[in-house]
Structure 1
Amino acid sequence: MTAGTGPARTWGSTLASVVVYAQGALCRRVARGTLPPGGRLRVTGLPRSLDPGSLRARVLGDVPGVRVTEARVETRAEPVDGESPDELRREVDRLRDAYAAAEGRRDRQATLIRETEGITPVPPARRREEPHRRTPVDAWLDLASFVDERLTALHTRLAELEETLRETGHELDLAADRLARASTDAPQDAVRTTVAAVLTLDLPDGPSEGPGEVELELEYGVPGAVWVPTYRLDHRQGDGTGRLVLRASVAQRTGEDWTGVRLALATADLRRRTDLPKLRSMRIGRRQPAATPSGWREPQAGLADLFTGYDAAGPRPAAPSALPGAVAGGPVPVPLAAPPPPPTTGVPATAPPAYGAPPPPPPAPGGAYGGPPEIYRSRPGGPTGARSRSAAPAFGGAPAAPAAPGMAPPPQARAAAPAPAAAPPPVAPPPPGPPQPSGAELDYAGLVLSGPDEPGGRRGRLFPEASFDPVATEHRRRAETVASLPLPGHAVRPRESAGSFDHRFDAAAPADIPSDGTWHTVTVAELRVGLRTEYLSVPSVEPAVYATLVVSNATDQALLAGPVEVTVDDDFLLTAALPTLAPGGVRRVGLGQAEGIRVTRRTHLYESTAGLRNHISVLDHRVHVELANRLARPVTVEVRERVPVTSEPDVRIEERADWVTPEDGQGPEQHAPGTRVWRVELPAGGSTALDGGYEIRIPAGKALTGGNRRS
């Protein structure tokens, strides 16, 4: 088979489906075409905010001998063809300039008004020997008329300028709002950053003609997508069923518009780890060496000898601009020759190297220094791991790493600290056993060979390429801002309402959701639920009757908590909060107060004594409830009362009523201890009266100081 030979052919891709999780989304793209002879493809159309580690690719259909062996993310900058698409941004800039110009004209007009208002007649100074002169009244009146006419014209112009300024400001606000809500799919500059997946495929051996047209599937994760459930409930009075439409408010700012995609909604956490833990066996007996990890081998012996000639040539000459004294007209310092290495009496010549690291290079002949060696400690994630704190490299003028025992100090150390530094503490030996390389260190195509200018522990070895893309990081940061959007009324995050279970809902039709970071409503499915209308009253708390809908979930899917728009007989009633409803569960949804049903409650308390010596206090509570139905249809009213509950065996409570104790788990909700229920069927225009009561018998030793009244 052949793979990776020849140039990469570019294919376009189409977004087919999206699964939106509690935060983030998993997108699936499809690309079709004829495979090139070399088996290298470049599939375009990926968003800028995708997670590179989540990219997966596979061949769809039954294509024998063809499989994807490598998938990598490639980023390119390309000029935008034709006119730059940032029309909204240019419109905002134009309106901002127009608003500034209108504001300047308004300010200048206000300055003219203030100057005109300051025009007043000033008589000339009179000399001491001159007599008093008469004031020219006509001149004063003419000046006042001129100022009045001038101010009238200026104020008229000022009103026009203020109206123009207000209209321009309104247009600027609208344009800025459109720009903020615009899709992030279109490029905002003349240069567009494109992300593609570079695939390497294995092709079957045989004749030159390929397998024909092949369909590939790309799957990747993106941040910046959230959703909350919403509902619409249609109910007709007298009907025991209803139509519940499950909808979802979806917001996404992933950098690509979802147009005509199959949408699915899940309550799971996309970033939760799903790999199984490794259970290590425990053996009793002789210790056995651990197995070497697959794909890992120790560095070759004599690796440090490859750079002996490079070190013997001495340090590389620094560029003039990089030298400390390379300023305009400044002298360039001459590098000093390195002093001979200090004697090694009583000190080991070399420090013990870390596990898997080559020994430090020997000193260059003639006292030339080839660079301080760096000591690495092994870690579970890789063979060399992170540097120790004493050997951390210097950045931005930070102190350099101390030299290893037996080596000459670096030039910076010789210049800054002429006194000999104390020897660093010995490095602890690595734990026994083979190294545990990470996934990045086993990704052979992503490893980079370190050159001779790298520290001594890295030269000539393969390490993962440390790539940091600030543009992609900024795109992902902007995408994650949708998580802070204010929720619609009565909305609940799916992770909070789902509890310890995860659910998935597939939309029945394709959906269009632009990448603008605002809420968009999508219809997911239509569910049949059981409904019955009940009226509930607790007259001891409030003399009112409330209408409720008892909703029973007869489907195999859970209904998450969220807002529900209730429509009764094609008339919108209100927006209520639907609680989480498990499959087969029953819950109650409040519809507000029923003005057509009246309830009144009266209570009487009689206190007496009983017993041989009248040592028992008897508190007789009597309750009288009246109901009146003024509606044009029969109703079922549930009246709730509550009797005291005691934990003392000497205190007895005797009930005298036809109410019943509700059974927990049988109804749509849980009840507090001592709850009693009357269920009454009231015909249209009918009324009824309910009588009940209970006695509390309290021994004298249990009496309260100041009286035994109980409310």
Structure 2
Amino acid sequence: MAADTTAQRWESVLDSVVVYASGALCRRRARGTVPADGRVRLTGLPRVADAGSLRATVQDGTARVAAARLEPEVELRDRADLPELRRRVERARDAADAARRRSQRQEAAIAEISAVRPVPPPLTADAPHRRTPADAWLQLADFVDERLSALHARAAELTEELRLAEHELDLAEDELARASSALATAPVTLGTTAVITLEGAAEGAEVELEVEYGVPGAVWVPSYRLTYRQGEDTGTLLLRAQLAQRTGEDWTGVRIGLSTADLQRRTDLPKLRSLRIGRRQPAPAPSGWREPPPGLGDLFTGYDAAGRPPQVRPKPGPRPGAGGGRPGRAARPGGSPSDTVVGGIAAADIAVPLAAPPPTPPPPPAPGGWPAPAEPSGAPAGFPAPPPMQTFGAPQAYGAVPPPAPVAPAPAMRSRAMRGGGGLRSAPDVPVYAAEAVPEPVGPAGPSQAQLDYAGLVLDGADRPAHRRGLLFPGAVHDPATVESRNLAESVAGLELPAHAVRPRLSAGSFDQRYDAAARADVPSDGTWHTVTVGEVPVSLRTEYVCVPAVEEAVYGTLVITNATASALLAGPVEVTVDGDFLLTAALPTLAAGGNRRVGLGQAEAVRVARRTELRESTAGMLNNTTVLDHRVHVELANRLAHPVTVEVRERVPVSADQDVRIEERADWRAPDRPSETYPPGTRCWRVELPAGGTAELDGGFEIRIPAGKAIVGGNRRS
């Protein structure tokens, strides 16, 4: 489709961007006066903009948007208009090429001098012996050595110059590769414009347009910074986002929104088709669509005769009879049954049973009602005869049996496609045999959704294959530069994540959340991570200390964070700052609204713990047939901090699945409400409040009573 160059051009400004889990939705604003024809062109859109996501609205409601579409735009730039970075790369490349040529010439000179050696004159059979001129040989050797020394010294200098020039070229190319993809670094720049058609506005009226479109090549992950003071129960959690985008346009001064949703996920409801019992009825033909006319290939006869290599095009088939409305069929010269052409369209692109060559009359039925074996042919052994098939699109009552279809003598190729909008969308060929049953299409041929988008259809010219000439097809991305731009934009999905970072879709789980930045931000299109501040989140904090002295006699500090807002907090890295000093970077788990999680702060050297155990073994019972293992645990805590602390001491008692083995606890510890990954079965906890500089002692224990029949002879029961 040719670009509309007569529409009035309006400059647009990027106003806001909503970054999803993958991809982004951009909104641009433009203001201007309505021309007489109502068509305007909005410039500044990136090359990778998705045409299917384009939406346009008039803000003040004085006009109505009748049509909106994206068109490619080519801009030629003078070499002097290219950015300094591009010119630096060209200068560095020219300098490296010149240094490489000088080094090659020097190497050639060295090789030429190295080949210099004395050549004695030819001797004849009757010539007398001559004395060898040793002085001349030595002078020549001295000359070669002196010349080679100077050449090798110069070659070393040129090699160093070449190394420095190539290093400078590598630096310039690396800087150009890491630069924003929005920079026009080539003399020919490919862009995109939005062509908007307005209705209902008077000529010369001033309107404001908002254009929305989706782009690939944008990702984000959350990060946090937690600031609090010791002894306080509140703190400030600063929500930030690490953004990376390679969309081809710089986001300068835009409002940033962050969403955990998937931009490509379908949100429309499925359409349930009704099931009817009875006669099949043809589906209604779609409005605004019809099959291409017959004889379309004859329009390009003069083009082929003008000297261009002739294309394989269909021969005109017989006209449809008076009783039918379908075009005739014709086969390509030398083609197979898959090359059959229906009304100027290759039958290899439609899913219909193809006509086979006229077979010999079938033999009479075999005795017993079984079909007679087929004649030897190219069909594979074991393939049954094809079931009855109906004509494409022809209604037929259920239960009617048409005449049997013949068996083709050789395999054929067929492919399935959707026909509509005057064109075809074909799939790769799939080898089948003519004896195989081909599923009958339901209803007449119809267009796809892409083929009903008339603004996006492209008319194929005479240089296209014969079965596509003069037909409308959905516009596909065939431009190598556009494909390269999309691949470059989607490369940001493979960026290495920061430490402790988690993808939003993985941490969000079953909910979708959106976060809006408090201020406008700048994010260049360079494909690297940039930090954007979203806002502050008030949280409730509680510092607790946890120790498991049975495993390690060390106390670890933890921070219990309670989310007091109505929004969930995603998993990500959190930088903890205590009393103005940076402490560490930890991993914050996903925190639902109103939930709380524990974040580790490392070992607390100022809080000490010590543990001693004692085991006594005895027997009990009338016949001393029960072994009693009495475990005693003594824990001492000491607080050397200047403020009170809460310490959770975790112990573990054995868990028995045998009712005869009894475990009796003698301590004031408590069991968790339910087992979890943090509190496995058998966990017991003490919670101790230690004042500043205070100490505490904890005593506990349990008895294990094992009947004599359950004891293991020689077993180690003291560990």
Does residue 177 (structure 1) correspond to residue 177 (structure 2)? The answer is: no
- Distance (whole Å) between structure 1 residues aligned to residue 674 and residue 241 of structure 2: 33
- Distance (whole Å) between structure 1 residues aligned to residue 257 and residue 458 of structure 2: 40
> 1:387 maps to what in 2?
350
Give the direction of change, closer, same or farther, for the CA distance of 1:588–1:322 in structure 2 (3 Å limit). same
Summarize deviations over 1:313-371 as a string: whole Å, max 9, x none.
Answer: 989754556379xxxxxxxxxx9xx9xx9xxxxxxx9999xx9963326999xxxxxx9
Summarize deviations over 1:630-674 as a string: whole Å, max 9, x none.
Answer: 222221111101111122211111001111112249x9x842111
Does residue 687 (structure 1) correspond to residue 689 (structure 2)? The answer is: no
> 2:556 maps to what in 1?
546
Following superposition, the deviation at residue 549 of structure 1 comes to: 0.7
> 1:129 maps to what in 2?
none
435-444 or 253-262: bigger deviation: 435-444
Contact 1:376 1:386 in 2 (8 A): no
Does residue 605 (structure 1) correspond to residue 615 (structure 2)? The answer is: yes
Secondary structure of the residue aligned to 2:486 is helix
Select the residue among 588, 597, 617 that pairs with 1:578: 588
Contact 1:290 1:433 in 2 (8 A): yes
- Distance (whole Å) between structure 2 residues aligned to residue 286 and residue 509 of structure 1: 64
- Distance (whole Å) between structure 2 residues aligned to residue 602 and residue 351 of structure 1: 102
Does residue 67 (structure 1) correspond to residue 64 (structure 2)? The answer is: yes
Does residue 492 (structure 1) correspond to residue 502 (structure 2)? The answer is: yes
Does residue 438 (structure 1) correspond to residue 438 (structure 2)? The answer is: no
Contact 2:340 2:347 in 1 (8 A): no
Contact 1:268 1:503 in 2 (8 A): yes
Select the residue among 59, 75, 79 that pairs with 1:78: 75
- Distance (whole Å) between structure 1 residues aligned to residue 5 and residue 572 of structure 2: 55
- Distance (whole Å) between structure 2 residues aligned to residue 525 and residue 635 of structure 1: 31
State how 1:615-630 maps to structure 2 within 5 Å. 615-630=625-640
Following superposition, the deviation at residue 81 of structure 1 comes to: 5.5
Contact 2:615 2:718 in 1 (8 A): no
Give the direction of change, closer, same or farther, for the CA distance of 1:362–1:483 in structure 2 (3 Å limit). closer
Secondary structure of the residue aligned to 2:551 is coil
Give the direction of change, closer, same or farther, for the CA distance of 1:376–1:244 in structure 2 (3 Å limit). farther
Q: % of aligned pairs identical?
A: 59
Contact 1:619 1:697 in 2 (8 A): yes
Amino acid in structure 1 at the alignment position of 2:559? L
571-580 or 435-444: bigger deviation: 435-444
Give the direction of change, closer, same or farther, for the CA distance of 1:171–1:82 in structure 2 (3 Å limit). closer
Summarize deviations over 1:35-94 as a string: whole Å, max 9, x none.
Answer: 11212121111101112222111222221xx32222111112121267232432332343
Select the residue among 358, 374, 382 that pairs with 2:327: 358
State how 1:209-288 maps to structure 2 within 5 Å. 209-210=202-203, 212-283=205-276, 286-287=278-279
> 1:32 maps to what in 2?
31
- Distance (whole Å) between structure 1 residues aligned to residue 442 and residue 99 of structure 2: 77
- Distance (whole Å) between structure 1 residues aligned to residue 463 and residue 249 of structure 2: 42
Select the residue among 292, 302, 311 that pairs with 2:284: 292
Following superposition, the deviation at residue 108 of structure 1 comes to: 11
Give the direction of change, closer, same or farther, for the CA distance of 1:435–1:111 in structure 2 (3 Å limit). closer
Summarize deviations over 1:587-606 as a string: whole Å, max 9, x none.
Answer: 01111100111111121222
Does residue 506 (structure 1) correspond to residue 503 (structure 2)? The answer is: no
CA RMSD of aligned residues (A): 4.6
Secondary structure of the residue aligned to 2:80 is coil
Does residue 199 (structure 1) correspond to residue 196 (structure 2)? The answer is: yes
Give the direction of change, closer, same or farther, for the CA distance of 1:633–1:454 in structure 2 (3 Å limit). closer
- Distance (whole Å) between structure 1 residues aligned to residue 579 and residue 257 of structure 2: 31
State how 1:453-602 maps to structure 2 within 5 Å. 463-465=473-475, 468-602=478-612
Contact 2:340 2:348 in 1 (8 A): no
Contact 1:372 1:456 in 2 (8 A): no
- Distance (whole Å) between structure 1 residues aligned to residue 693 and residue 332 of structure 2: 108
> 2:670 maps to what in 1?
660
507-516 or 209-218: bigger deviation: 209-218
- Distance (whole Å) between structure 1 residues aligned to residue 320 and residue 710 of structure 2: 84
Give the direction of change, closer, same or farther, for the CA distance of 1:612–1:58 in structure 2 (3 Å limit). same
Amino acid in structure 1 at the alignment position of 2:605? E
- Distance (whole Å) between structure 1 residues aligned to residue 692 and residue 215 of structure 2: 58
- Distance (whole Å) between structure 1 residues aligned to residue 491 and residue 688 of structure 2: 53
Secondary structure of the residue aligned to 1:91 is helix
Contact 1:549 1:588 in 2 (8 A): yes
Number of aligned positions between the proteins: 608
Contact 1:351 1:405 in 2 (8 A): no
Give the direction of change, closer, same or farther, for the CA distance of 1:290–1:242 in structure 2 (3 Å limit). farther
State how 1:5-154 maps to structure 2 within 5 Å. 7-63=6-62, 66-80=63-77, 83-96=80-93, 98=95
Give the direction of change, closer, same or farther, for the CA distance of 1:384–1:536 in structure 2 (3 Å limit). farther
Give the direction of change, closer, same or farther, for the CA distance of 1:450–1:476 in structure 2 (3 Å limit). closer
- Distance (whole Å) between structure 1 residues aligned to residue 187 and residue 541 of structure 2: 58
Following superposition, the deviation at residue 211 of structure 1 comes to: 7.0
- Distance (whole Å) between structure 2 residues aligned to residue 5 and residue 163 of structure 1: 55
Secondary structure of the residue aligned to 1:276 is coil
The alignment's TM-score, normalised by the length of structure 2, stands at 0.74
Following superposition, the deviation at residue 384 of structure 1 comes to: 8.9
Contact 1:633 1:683 in 2 (8 A): yes
Amino acid in structure 2 at the alignment position of 1:32? R
Give the direction of change, closer, same or farther, for the CA distance of 1:507–1:467 in structure 2 (3 Å limit). closer
Contact 2:216 2:247 in 1 (8 A): yes
Contact 2:477 2:483 in 1 (8 A): no
- Distance (whole Å) between structure 1 residues aligned to residue 180 and residue 50 of structure 2: 20
- Distance (whole Å) between structure 1 residues aligned to residue 332 and residue 93 of structure 2: 66
- Distance (whole Å) between structure 1 residues aligned to residue 643 and residue 152 of structure 2: 68
Contact 2:332 2:340 in 1 (8 A): no
Secondary structure of the residue aligned to 2:91 is helix
Following superposition, the deviation at residue 445 of structure 1 comes to: 3.7
Does residue 673 (structure 1) correspond to residue 665 (structure 2)? The answer is: no
Give the direction of change, closer, same or farther, for the CA distance of 1:293–1:510 in structure 2 (3 Å limit). farther
Following superposition, the deviation at residue 444 of structure 1 comes to: 3.0
Give the direction of change, closer, same or farther, for the CA distance of 1:605–1:518 in structure 2 (3 Å limit). same
- Distance (whole Å) between structure 2 residues aligned to residue 377 and residue 389 of structure 1: 15
The alignment's TM-score, normalised by the length of structure 1, stands at 0.74
- Distance (whole Å) between structure 2 residues aligned to residue 577 and residue 356 of structure 1: 70
- Distance (whole Å) between structure 2 residues aligned to residue 322 and residue 376 of structure 1: 23
Does residue 374 (structure 1) correspond to residue 374 (structure 2)? The answer is: no
Following superposition, the deviation at residue 261 of structure 1 comes to: 0.4
Summarize deviations over 1:249-297 as a string: whole Å, max 9, x none.
Answer: 10000000000000001111111111111122345x5457365265255
Amino acid in structure 1 at the alignment position of 2:622? L
Secondary structure of the residue aligned to 1:525 is strand
- Distance (whole Å) between structure 2 residues aligned to residue 5 and residue 490 of structure 1: 50
Following superposition, the deviation at residue 101 of structure 1 comes to: 6.6
**Which blocks of at least 5 consecutive residues in structure 1 are unaligned?**
114-142, 325-334, 342-348, 365-370, 392-401, 407-419
Contact 1:99 1:168 in 2 (8 A): yes
Amino acid in structure 2 at the alignment position of 1:54? S
422-431 or 647-656: bigger deviation: 422-431
- Distance (whole Å) between structure 1 residues aligned to residue 598 and residue 218 of structure 2: 31
Give the direction of change, closer, same or farther, for the CA distance of 1:705–1:23 in structure 2 (3 Å limit). farther
Contact 2:619 2:627 in 1 (8 A): yes
Summarize deviations over 1:184-205 as a string: whole Å, max 9, x none.
Answer: 101111122221011222236x
Contact 1:535 1:545 in 2 (8 A): yes
